[in-house]
Structure 1
Amino acid sequence: METSFDTQVQELYKKAEIIITDYYKAKRDNDYFEAKRKDDNSKAKPQHGHSKITIPQEFKDEFFSLVDKVNLSLMEDKDNFYGYFLLQMSREIRFDISSPTAVNFKRAKYVIYFNPIIFLNLNLKQMESTIKHEILHILSMHLIRAKEFKGNYSTLAINLAMNLVVNTYLDHLPPFSVTLEWVNLYYDLKLLPFKPFEYYVEEIQTALDLLEADETTEDERDASEVDDSKNEETDDNPDDANDDVNVATEYDPEKAHDLWEESSDIDQKTLQEFTEKFIDNAQKGSIPGYLAGMISSLRSSKGELPWNLYLKRLMGSVESNKKKTITRRNRRQPDRLDLRGQLRSHKAKIVVALDISGSISDQEFNQALKEVLDIVKNYNHEITIIECDSEIRRVYNVKSVKDVKERINIRGGTRFTPVFEYANDHKINLLVYFTDGKGEEKLLTVPRGYKTLWVISGRGDKLSLKEPHGAVKKLKNIEIKDDALEMSDVKRDGYSMNDQERMHI
Structure 2
Amino acid sequence: MKTFDQQVKELYEQANIIIQGFFEAEMDEADVQVHIPENFKKEFFSLVDKVNLSLMEDKDNFYGYFLFQMMKEIRFDMSSPTGVNFKNAKYTIYFNPIIFLTLNIKQMESTIKHEVLHILSRHLIRAKDFKCRYSTIAINTAMDIVVNRYLDYLPPYASTLERVNNHYNLQLQPYEPFEYYVEKLQVAIDLLDENEDSQEDDRDKEEQVEQDFIPEKTHDIWEESQNIDEKTMQEFTENFINNAQKGSNSAYLDSIIATFKNNKGELPWHIYLKRLMGYVESNKKKTITRRNRRQPERLDLRGELRDHKAKIIVGLDISGSISDEEFKQGIREVLTIVKNYKHEITIVECDDEIRRIYPVKSIKDMKDRPNIRGGTKFTPVFEYANNKKANLLIYFTDGKGEERLKVTPKGYKILWVISGNGDGLSVKESYGVVKKLKHVEIKRDSLELKDVIIDGYSMNNQERIR
Q: For the superposition of Structure 1 and Structure 2, which TM-score range results when normalised by the shorter chain?
A: 0.5 to 0.7
The alpha-carbon distance between structure 1 residues 151 and 312, as it changes in their structure 2 partners (threshold 3 A), is farther
The alpha-carbon distance between structure 1 residues 416 and 293, as it changes in their structure 2 partners (threshold 3 A), is farther
- Tell me which of 225, 232, 239 is aligned to 1:270: 232
**Secondary structure of 2:92's match?**
strand
The alpha-carbon distance between structure 1 residues 321 and 170, as it changes in their structure 2 partners (threshold 3 A), is farther
Shift of 1:293: 1.9
Task: In structure 1, give the amino acid aligned to 2:151.
Answer: L
Kindly indicate whether the alpha-carbon contact (under 8 Å) linking 1:75 and 1:83 is maintained by their aligned counterparts in 2. Answer: yes
Q: Distance in 2 between matches of 1:15 and 1:322?
A: 63
Q: Distance in 2 between matches of 1:472 and 1:111?
A: 27
The alpha-carbon distance between structure 1 residues 114 and 347, as it changes in their structure 2 partners (threshold 3 A), is farther
Partner deviation per Cα, 1:392-425 (whole Å, 9 max, x = no partner)? 9996xxxxxxxxxxx9xxx9684268xx9xx99x
Task: In structure 2, give the amino acid aligned to 1:415.
Answer: K
Superposition map of 1:127-142 within 5 A: 127-142=108-123
TM-score norm. by structure 1 comes to 0.62
Partner deviation per Cα, 1:250-281 (whole Å, 9 max, x = no partner)? 11111000000111121111111111110010
Structure 1 residue runs without a partner (length 5+): 32-49, 235-244, 374-381, 387-391, 396-406, 436-448, 464-469, 477-505
Shift of 1:311: 7.3
Residue matched to 2:272: 309
TM-score norm. by structure 2 comes to 0.66
**Secondary structure of 2:93's match?**
strand
Kindly indicate whether the alpha-carbon contact (under 8 Å) linking 1:95 and 1:248 is maintained by their aligned counterparts in 2. Answer: yes
Residue matched to 1:172: 153
Q: What is the number of equivalent residue pairs in this alignment? A: 378
Partner deviation per Cα, 1:93-123 (whole Å, 9 max, x = no partner)? 1111000000001111100000111101000
Residue matched to 1:9: 8
Residue matched to 1:298: 260
Shift of 1:427: 4.0
Residue matched to 1:183: 164
Shift of 1:296: 1.8
Kindly indicate whether the alpha-carbon contact (under 8 Å) linking 1:329 and 1:337 is maintained by their aligned counterparts in 2. Answer: no
Kindly indicate whether the alpha-carbon contact (under 8 Å) linking 2:136 and 2:216 is maintained by their aligned counterparts in 1. Answer: yes
Residue matched to 1:45: none
Superposition map of 1:8-157 within 5 A: 8-30=7-29, 50-157=31-138
Shift of 1:322: 12
The alpha-carbon distance between structure 1 residues 327 and 252, as it changes in their structure 2 partners (threshold 3 A), is farther
Task: In structure 2, give the amino acid aligned to 1:299.
Answer: K
**Secondary structure of 1:254's match?**
helix
Q: Distance in 1 between matches of 2:417 and 2:121?
A: 25
Residue matched to 2:463: none
- Tell me which of 278, 284, 287 is aligned to 2:246: 284
Structure 2 residue runs without a partner (length 5+): 315-326, 347-357, 370-380, 397-409, 423-431, 440-466
Residue matched to 2:318: none
Kindly indicate whether the alpha-carbon contact (under 8 Å) linking 1:149 and 1:313 is maintained by their aligned counterparts in 2. Answer: no
Residue matched to 2:310: 349
Residue matched to 2:179: 198
Shift of 1:152: 0.3
The alpha-carbon distance between structure 1 residues 99 and 347, as it changes in their structure 2 partners (threshold 3 A), is farther
Kindly indicate whether the alpha-carbon contact (under 8 Å) linking 1:348 and 1:429 is maintained by their aligned counterparts in 2. Answer: no
Task: In structure 2, give the amino acid aligned to 1:246.
Answer: Q
Kindly indicate whether the alpha-carbon contact (under 8 Å) linking 1:315 and 1:346 is maintained by their aligned counterparts in 2. Answer: no
Residue matched to 2:337: 368
Q: Distance in 2 between matches of 1:23 and 1:322?
A: 59
**Secondary structure of 2:29's match?**
helix
Partner deviation per Cα, 1:261-317 (whole Å, 9 max, x = no partner)? 111121111111111110010001111222222222222345776324367679999
The alpha-carbon distance between structure 1 residues 328 and 215, as it changes in their structure 2 partners (threshold 3 A), is farther
Q: Distance in 1 between matches of 2:395 and 2:8?
A: 60
Task: In structure 2, give the amino acid aligned to 1:267.
Answer: D
Task: In structure 2, give the amino acid aligned to 1:61.
Answer: K
Shift of 1:452: 8.4
The alpha-carbon distance between structure 1 residues 285 and 52, as it changes in their structure 2 partners (threshold 3 A), is same
Q: Distance in 1 between matches of 2:144 and 2:286?
A: 29
Q: Distance in 2 between matches of 1:96 and 1:195?
A: 32
RMSD: 5.1
Task: In structure 1, give the amino acid aligned to 2:130.
Answer: F
- Tell me which of 377, 380, 383 is aligned to 2:343: 383
Partner deviation per Cα, 1:195-243 (whole Å, 9 max, x = no partner)? 100000000000001114x6699xx89x95xx79x95xx6xxxxxxxxx
The alpha-carbon distance between structure 1 residues 178 and 291, as it changes in their structure 2 partners (threshold 3 A), is same
Task: In structure 1, give the amino acid aligned to 2:210.
Answer: A
The alpha-carbon distance between structure 1 residues 246 and 274, as it changes in their structure 2 partners (threshold 3 A), is same
Shift of 1:347: 9.2
Task: In structure 2, give the amino acid aligned to 1:140.
Answer: S
